[in-house]
A and B are shown apart, each in its own frame.
Chain A
């Protein structure tokens, strides 16, 4: 699991790649999102294009990150869901929770 953080204006885009599974993967997401919040970032885009595997703990971490950011007055949005992540979010009704975008441009412009 690897996360590269870059800024587009006041928006933090987190490019995630690899596996988001219980342990290293979920901790990486948690720590990176916390770091962005600690540095005053309130607008976060999680780019999941290169996530090749996610388990229920990974889905749980996306939910946890969403609530953490929202509770601190910020916004967390998802970009480039893979077909499998989309299916996992859909069957657990989480597509009704997250704002999801297919292009970075549309995600950035949504803030």
Chain B
């Protein structure tokens, strides 16, 4: 069983080529925590969407800007933060992809998916600048948790 909270942090450049690396790390962490396959998939997708947004919309693919990704692994939940160095945005102003006029738009679903698959999602302007997406996935009580010793 996981008995303490540990932090895993990585910093990447604003290049989409890093997405697979981040995804692989996320998959390793969710596997380590014993999330079932479907839940792990949706966590991985949520992280991928957040990092894509940070690179593309936050940092606008500016190679001089970084994206910080932090995983806090606890016995009862996985806490993930993705922070860019952009100018931020007002999440409440984002169009609803379910509205009839947006249904056939090619983009604008990423944050909707993140909110659908994670238990808690917050968008917080960071005190040192940039936007931080904070996501939590709880380890459900009926889930087979690996007998992993830290």
Contacts and interface: CB of A to CB of B under 8 A. Distances in A.
Contacts of B98: 92-93
Contacts, number: 52
Which bucket holds chain A's interface residue count? 20 to 34
B116 A22 contact: no
Contacts of A64: 106
Which bucket holds chain B's interface residue count? 20 to 34
Decide if the interface of chain B is mainly helix, strand, loop or mixed.
helix
A1 B56 CA distance: 21
Nearest to B111: A56
- Of B98, B106, B107, chain A has the most CB atoms within 10 Å of the CB of B106
B104 interface: yes
Contact of B103 (A56, A61, A84, A93): A93
Given A55-B45, A55-B49, A57-B52, A92 B112 contact: yes
A63 B104 CA distance: 6
A84 B103 CA distance: 19
A52 to B, nearest CB: 10
Nearest to A84: B41
A88 B41 CA distance: 12
A3 interface: no
Interface in B89-115: 97-98, 103-110, 112-113
B16 A92 contact: no
A56 B104 contact: no
B52 A92 contact: no
Interface of B: 16, 19, 38, 41, 45, 48-49, 52, 56, 97-98, 103-110, 112-113, 116
Interface of A: 21-23, 55-57, 59-61, 63-64, 66-67, 84, 88, 91-94, 97
